[in-house]
């Protein structure tokens, strides 16, 4: 099963064009939608989750028309929004049981079996009777995944799931998502490059409502081989370098500035080649330094 998004557009009453004819094909497995805050990621997620209408375009999940057959979509959808509320004085087990009932699992024994299996899957079994108000951010996110997995969805949408998590919780959460990607279409929307680098076999970069690049992360990084250069400069030199070179990123380093630029050949004396990474791909795409879309097999620009 694949998710086919074609020419989806969305504008808000204040004139902001949140999506500008976005087209993507999202296959089975983990797919990353990478972009800065305000790029249009959450708007697209809400449209796919049937919470918002598109102004134009089409979306199909297998045989389901996502934009018109919303009830059918909800039967096969799991959605973890960027922010979601919980009842702080209710235990995770009781709350998940309530959501399972709302999902249509009315037989008590069957519901109990599903709830217990999900709590074990997201590693919350030992704290199942603890009140949700006492959960850490990562525990709360894992509870959100348990809710999203009710009904065994074939499409799972997670929006900025690791923002604010500490390193240990982030690793646990990413491992969980990786497992889920083995049996569903999982769309991960994030501004954190490492999340996509570690999880996703395909990705798209979006900014200002437009898809800038779609590719396999490893192939996109390989395509930048030999084209990323770095140099440590004084802060006072930065403006001149920005005028003369295609700067990808800058980083403070012991009071000086480490600059990475995109160039087919050496920018000049003092520059050394740098091993590219997905962060280089991301910033180069945002700056318009690399092509707007990879080929269907991820092998071109």
pLDDT, residue 296, reads 40
pLDDT, residue 83, reads 74
pLDDT, residue 254, reads 83
pLDDT, residue 300, reads 37
* Stretch (H or E) spanning 283: helix 278-286
Contact 12, 18 (CB under 8 A): yes
Q: pLDDT at residue 294 above 60?
A: no
pLDDT, residue 299, reads 39
pLDDT, residue 291, reads 58
Tokens of 44: 């697209």
CA 145 to CA 124: how far, in whole Å?
Answer: 11
**Residue 292's pLDDT band (cuts 50, 70, 90):** low
Q: Which of 122-136, 151-165, 233-247 has the lowest mean pLDDT?
A: 151-165
> How large is the average pLDDT for residues 233-255?
92
> What confidence tens digit (pLDDT) does each residue in 145-193 have?
899 889 889 999 998 888 777 888 888 888 888 888 888 899 999 888 9
> What confidence tens digit (pLDDT) does each residue in 193-220 have?
988 988 899 999 999 999 999 999 999 9
Check: pTM over 0.75? Answer yes or no.
yes
Candidates 184, 195, 166; CA nearest to 41 is 195
Q: pLDDT at residue 249 above 50?
A: yes
State the sign of the Cα–Cα–Cα–Cα dihedral 132, 137, 139, 145. Answer: positive
Q: pLDDT at residue 84 above 90?
A: no
More confident residue, 130 or 37: 130
CA 185 to CA 164: how far, in whole Å?
Answer: 25
CA 50 to CA 16: how far, in whole Å?
Answer: 20
């Amino acid at each position: 099963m694949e998710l086919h998004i074609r020419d989806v557009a969305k504008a808000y009453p204040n004139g902001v064009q949140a999506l500008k004819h976005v087209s993507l094909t999202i296959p089975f497995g983990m797919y990353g939608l990478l972009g800065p805050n305000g790029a249009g990621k959450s708007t697209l997620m809400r449209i796919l989750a049937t919470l918002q209408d598109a102004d134009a375009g089409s979306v199909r999940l297998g045989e389901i028309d996502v934009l018109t057959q919303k009830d059918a979509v909800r039967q096969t959808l799991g959605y973890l929004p960027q922010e979601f509320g919980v009842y702080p004085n209710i235990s995770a087990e009781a709350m998940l049981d309530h959501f399972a009932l709302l999902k249509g699992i009315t037989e008590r024994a069957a519901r109990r079996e599903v709830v217990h299996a999900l709590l074990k899957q997201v590693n919350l079994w030992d704290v199942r009777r603890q009140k949700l108000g006492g959960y850490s951010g990562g525990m709360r996110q894992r509870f959100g995944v348990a809710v999203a997995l009710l009904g065994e969805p074939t499409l799972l949408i997670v929006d900025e799931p690791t923002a604010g998590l500490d390193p240990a919780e982030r690793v646990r959460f990413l491992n969980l998502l990786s497992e889920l990607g083995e049996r569903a279409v999982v769309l991960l929307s994030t501004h954190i490059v490492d999340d996509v680098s570690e999880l996703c076999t395909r990705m798209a970069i979006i900014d200002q409502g437009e898809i800038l690049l779609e590719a396999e992360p490893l192939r996109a990084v390989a395509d930048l081989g030999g084209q990323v250069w770095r140099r440590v400069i004084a802060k006072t030199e930065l403006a001149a370098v920005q005028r003369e070179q295609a700067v990808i990123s800058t980083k403070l380093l012991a009071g000086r500035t480490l600059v990475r630029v995109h160039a087919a050949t050496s920018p000049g004396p003092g520059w050394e080649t740098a091993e590219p990474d997905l962060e280089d791909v991301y910033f180069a795409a945002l700056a318009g330094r690399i092509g707007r879309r990879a080929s269907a097999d991820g092998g071109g620009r």
